[in-house]
Amino acid sequence: MKVYLDNSATSWPKPPAVLDAMSTYINEYGASPGRSGHGFAVRAAREVFETRELIASLFNVESSERVIFSANATHAINIALKGLLKKGDHVIITHMEHNSVRRPLKYLKSIGLIDVTIADCCEKGYVDIDKLTSCFRENTKLVVTIHGSNVSGAVMPIDRIGQICKAKGVLYMVDAAQTAGFIPIDMQNDSIDILVFTGHKKLYGPPGIGGLCIRNGIHIDTLIHGGTGSRSELDVHPDFYPDRLEAGTPNTLGILGLKAGIQYIIAKGIDSIRERLGQQTAFLINALKGIDEITLYGPGTSENRLPLVSMNVKKISPSQLALTLDSEYGIMTRAGLHCSPLAHQTLSTLPQGTVRFSLGCFTTDKEIDYTINALKRIITS
């Protein structure tokens, strides 16, 4: 039996409609959108436009031209941070951030551009709102927080943080790599200025596509200059959105796969996917809770959390456990630091990290039972 429980890294399998949309594009009209005026190019451009509109409606973005496509969440985060921050700016992040946020900020700090303060989180991974509030300074320009932790599963109160930032006149950016498509996000109601998403996790698109959504009125300088298919007579990059932040031939294949992925979760019902995955996660946690050798990390079953379980087994290293699960039982998990050493510091799981079981909308109850039994057998062997 093969059991894929690494959906926080990337979701698998993908809905069949994702592959259909991608192969239809390649086989029937694989032209570059926004470049030429022929029928194939116009059809591709229309599909890309419809995807922007779909994403704008999914996250309640004011204008669909402010939905920017990128290669992944990391690329989107770099576009936003490097295009927004100026000398002397101060940024607040939390102790649960992914390296995709931490490393570009560390780099900008190392070249003397900005200063960064890291707000503490509790041992489950929730940010301490009072501590976050005490981090603000006169020159704070931006707060960046993860929405859902890829390590502990804790989901941050982004609406509360958004209100605090709004009241202080500070921009708020949310890294929704783990939550977009799983937890409803409303940019306007949640007072989010910049929302970063990735296409290949809970939006069920292919790898290689992600993006950012930007509130009207916020200007982000162009990171990559080049061809856009628009204003070709100019020797400077166009300043209007989305072209301002999209240079070079887009990943139309990825965009159309993403569109099909989003249509799939909408048709299935984002709330019902979340409810079912919540039940499966709770079942897994409750089964593991009773086993003495197992240490579970992160929030309890009744808290706002993601469908992942981070754990360790006494006397077995995370890498050894993941290897045994894979080689002897066909169960695929992720072991180690999950690109987020700050989060592991919060959970006290440095230096070895954890084994993470992450569920997706194709995970079955039978697979969960099989995983629980495999863990019991490994522990008693």
Minimum gap (Å) between residue 152 Cβ and ligand PLP = 11
**CA atoms of 314 and 292, how far apart (whole Å):** 9
The tokens describing 257, both together, are 């796969």
- Its sign, for the CA torsion 137, 148, 108, 142, is negative
Contact flags string 91-130 toward ligand PLP, x per CB under 6 A: -------x-x------------------------------
Closest to ligand PLP by CB, 179 vs 324, is 179
Q: Report residue 121: phi and psi, to 5°.
A: -125, 160
DSSP-assigned letter for residue 74: H
Closest CA to 343 of 284, 298, 280: 298
Closest CA to 257 of 7, 6, 26: 26
Q: Report residue 298: phi and psi, to 5°.
A: 95, -175
Q: Does 140 bind ligand PLP (CB under 6 A)?
A: no
Residues 216-275 that bind ligand PLP (CB under 6 A): none
Amino acid at 234: L
Q: Does 198 bind ligand PLP (CB under 6 A)?
A: yes
Stretch of 24-32, 46-54, 175-183, 261-269 contacting ligand PLP, by CB under 6 A = 175-183
Q: Does 146 bind ligand PLP (CB under 6 A)?
A: yes
By CB under 6 A, name the one of 125, 210, 242, 298 that touches ligand PLP.
210
Stretch of 66-74, 159-167, 269-277, 308-316 contacting ligand PLP, by CB under 6 A = 66-74
Q: Does 177 bind ligand PLP (CB under 6 A)?
A: yes
Closest to ligand PLP by CB, 146 vs 192, is 146
Q: Does 72 bind ligand PLP (CB under 6 A)?
A: yes
Q: How many CB atoms lie within 10 A of CB 79?
A: 26
DSSP-assigned letter for residue 317: -
Closest CA to 251 of 9, 28, 48, 55: 48
By CB under 6 A, name the one of 11, 51, 78, 150 that touches ligand PLP.
150
The tokens describing 160, both together, are 């509360």
Stretch of 72-80, 278-286, 342-350, 372-380 contacting ligand PLP, by CB under 6 A = 72-80
Binding region for ligand PLP (CB under 6 A): 72-74, 98, 100, 146, 150, 175, 177-178, 198, 210, 339
